Amino acid sequence: MSACVDPVVGKILAGWRYDISSLAPEMRGDYEAHFAACDHCRSRQRLHRVIDVALIVLASVSAAVFLLAFGVIHHFAPKHTLILELAALFGFALSALIWLIVAVATPAPATVVDVAKVGARHVHDRLPAEIRERLPEELRMKLTGS
C-alpha cells in the first residue's frame, strides 16, 4: 500500500476515522483535496465506511434473529418459556442498542444516503427526457444537485 502524501493531514484524518462529514463545508475543502490526491487515505476511508456499514448490517441481522427466536419460543412454548423469551428479548434489546450506537457514532447512515443518491442520480440520468420532465422540480433539484 502506498504511503500518505501528507502525513500530517493523514494523521489528523486517521484520528477522526477519516470522517469529515461533520465539518463545516468551508473547512472540508483541504481534506477533500487530500482525499482526491492521496490513495492511502482514500482507501483507509473506504475501509472504515465498509466496517461501519457492516456493523449496522450485522446488528440488524442479529436483532432480526433474536426476534425470530422469540417468536419460535413463543409459538412452541417449551419448558422454561419465560426464561428463553426474556433471553431473546434481551438479545434483541442489546442488538438494537448496538445498532443505535453505531448509527450515531459513525457516518454510516450518511454514507448509505450518499450511495442511494448516487444510484438515484444514475437512474434519473437514464430516464427518457419526457419522463424526466414530468418529475417534480423539487425532486429534480435533489437528484441533479443544480
- Would you say 38 and 10 are in contact if contact means Cβ atoms under 8 Å apart? yes
User: What is the average pLDDT score of the chain?
Assistant: 88
Query: Torsion over CA of 16, 21, 22 and 28, rounded to 10 degrees?
Result: 90
pTM of the predicted structure, to 2 decimals = 0.73
* Whether the predicted pLDDT of 1 surpasses 70: no
How far is it, in rounded angstroms, from Cα 44 to Cα 65? 31
